[in-house]
Amino acid sequence: MDFNFPLILVIAVFLTGVLAACDYFLLAPRRRLAVDQYKASTSDVDDEVVLKITKEPAVFETAKSIFPILLIVLVVRSFLFEPFQIPSGSMKPTLAIGDFILVNKYAYGIRLPVIGTKVVNVNDPQRGDVMVFKEPANPTINFIKRVVGLPGDTIQYKDKQLFINGELVEEQFIAQLHEQNIPYKLLEENLGGVKHQIRENVGMQIQLRRLDGEWTVPEGHYFVMGDNRDNSNDSRSWGFVPDANVVGKAIYIWMHWPSWGQLPSFKNNGAIE
C-alpha cells in the first residue's frame, strides 16, 4: 500500500503543534485563573481539587508530549538525513537487495518537505554520485541511480559502451561471474575520476539494443543510469531527471537484511528500481 509519509508527518506536526499552542496560550492560563479563584474562595484548600482543576485534557497532554518528537523527526528527515530501502537489483554490485542506505538531504540544497521547493542552494549533483530522486513519471516513487550526465552533456550508449561528450568512458575488466546461471561481467568504470563497479550481462546484445541511444542533457536536468546496466529502468528508457525531483545523495549503507523479499515494501519510503 502506497502512502505519502512526508505529508502525513507534516500534518501530524501541524495538528499536534496547534493543539499544544492552544493549551499553552488559551487553556493553561484559564486553569491557573480557576485555581487562583478557588484558593481565594476558601481557606481550606483541597489539593485534590487543585489537581483536578489543573489536569490537562488527554488530547492536549498527548499532543504536547509528541509534538517535539515529531518536530525533530520532521527536521532531520526533511533537511538532514533520511533512510531508504533497496528492494531491487538495479544498482548491483554497488547496492544489493536488502541494503538500507542513509541519504544526505542537504548535499544538493535544502528543500521544503512535501513540495520539494529548493530554498537554499548548497551543491549540484556531480558525475558519479549515487543519487536518490523522485521518478519523473510518478513523483510518489523514489528511485536511486548513478549520475552519468550533467546539464549540457551529450550521452551516447551503444553496444554496452558509454560515451560522454564523444569520449569513451574507461572500463577495466575484473571478473566474469554467474548469478542464477546467468553469466555477467564485473567491470570497474571511471566516471571522471569516480571509480566504481558495474555489471553487464553476457550474450544479450540483441535483446538490449533498446537501451542504445544518444541524448543531450537539458539545463536543470540529469542523466542517470543503474550500475546493473542491463537490468535498470533509468534515463535510457524514460529520459532526464529534473532538478526539482532530486532528493539527496546516498552516502552510507547502515544495514543489510538478506531476506528483503519477506518484508513489506513501502514505495514512498524506498529507493525503488
Q: Where in the sequence numbering do the catalytic residues fall?
A: 90, 145
Q: 546516498: which residue's cell?
A: 250
Q: Residue 154: which region, alpha, beta or left (left: phi > 0; alpha: psi -120 to 50)?
A: beta
Paired with 155 in beta bridges are 164, 215
Q: 63 with 20: CB under 8 angstroms?
A: yes
Gap between the Cα atoms of 161 and 158, Å rounded:
5
- Could you give the angle at the alpha carbon of 101 between the alpha carbons of 175 and 179, nearest 5°? 30
**CA distance readout (Å), 169 to 62, 95, 232, 237:** 57, 21, 19, 20
Paired with 242 in beta bridges are 221
**CA distance readout (Å), 185 to 129, 150, 200:** 22, 27, 5
Buried/exposed code over 70-83 (b: 16+ C-beta within 10 A; e: otherwise): bbeebeebbbebbe
What letter would DSSP give residue 45? -
